[in-house]
Amino acid sequence: MTFLFLYTELAGYSIDCFQEHLRLHPDDTIHVVHYPINPEAPFQFHIPQGVFMHEKKKLGAEGLYELIKQIRPDLILMSGWQDKDYLRLARMAGKAYRFVLCLDNTWRGTLKQWLLFLPAKIILRTITRYCWVPGEPQKKYAVILGFKPENVFTGFYAANLQRYRDLAAKIKSGERPRRFIVVARYIPQKGYDLLWKAFMSLHKEGNKEWELWCAGTGPLYEHRIQYPGIRHLGFVQPEEMEYLISQTDVFVLPSRFEPWGVAVQEFAAAGMPLILSDAVNAHHAFLKPRENGFLFKSGDAVSLKNALKAMMQTDEEQRKKMGEISAALAGIYDTHAWSATLHKLASV
């Protein structure tokens, strides 16, 4: 089979999914149309054999249509409906080719969502009956948009669980370093400012045995807080994750807005306790508050401080048990399940 993905931004977990699918189905072919690499997430991708990359800017609108006529895909998967060229292509080719909508948005009842609600329902109904989303919050939104529940598939964002389980297995037993780790872009939505404020407050109150490591880059990196106990690592490539996991103990994601958060599943698979804001939608799948971590109110520095403090007050054995629960929850789906869903969508 031949698959065409109409993407915006590439991510490492997508490449992992492609690689696993082609390992299981070596006769398949995957074509990916994508935007230029985001400078805030400068991943160095290793493209598997059988995956063909096409930069959208170089193709142009006419080139997109020529591409599908050339490769004649069995299934086209379109990421969202914000790209006008992708949407136009779906309208033009919708009768000749099968489309699946992939989205990670959730229903928040914003003015923008209400304004787009009816136009989106009408447009999407003419393109496809099927939708592929990360999890249950997105599935509810898809149903609001008019998709039948049985036509909405979950698990669109899937982590290479074995990689993170293997990394966790390499870590020597014994007392873990008391360090929080956050992996996120340095942009306002990620809530770094709240995290730094909460951590510094706890540090000044005497909790000096804990450190905070921050991995990422972005516009706010130049304005990062310099403070004892806070370490800024810059952007970290996937192959450097072994070091991060071996040197830290608790994963934190303080986002003000986070449609999903694949890193949550990755660090859960590595056996880490979690501290997440309630805006991180991956918490619905991977966090059971007080069992494998703590949930706090998005945008609330006091709520975040209380969550960090509660984790600081746990002992090594408690955090180990939390990590075991995280690892179990992470296994609900992976790249293998992603591959199975892709083939299922091609056959429905």
pLDDT digits (tens, 9 = 90+) for 130-148: 999 999 999 999 999 999 9
Burial 226-258 (b: 16+ CB within 10 A, else e): eeebbebeebbebeebbebbeebbbbbbbbbbb
Q: Is the pTM of this model over 0.85?
A: yes
The pair of three-digit structure tokens given for residue 310, joined into one six-digit string: 């509660």
Residue 235 near residue 222, CB atoms below 8 Å: no
Instruction: Give the whole-angstrom CA distance, residue 17 versus residue 20.
Output: 5
Mean pLDDT for 36-61 is: 84
CATH number of the 161-330 domain: 3.40.50.2000
Domain boundaries, the chain: 2-158+333-347, 161-330
Q: Is the pLDDT of residue 172 over 60?
A: no
pLDDT 10s digits, 278-325: 999 999 999 999 999 999 999 999 999 999 999 999 999 999 999 999
Two domains, one topology: 2-158+333-347 and 161-330: yes
Residue 304 near residue 194, CB atoms below 8 Å: yes
Top CATH class of 2-158+333-347 equals: alpha beta
Instruction: Give the whole-angstrom CA distance, residue 180 versus residue 14.
Output: 26
| Alpha carbons within 13 A on the beta-carbon side of 272 | 30
pLDDT 10s digits, 233-263: 999 887 788 888 989 999 999 999 999 999 9
Instruction: Give the whole-angstrom CA distance, residue 28 versus residue 160.
Output: 20
pLDDT 10s digits, 77-100: 999 888 889 988 888 877 789 999
Torsion of CA 238, 11, 234, 324, to 10 degrees: -50
Residue 219, CA distances (Å) to 43, 223, 288 in order:
17, 8, 33
Instruction: Give the whole-angstrom CA distance, residue 185 versus residue 329.
Output: 25
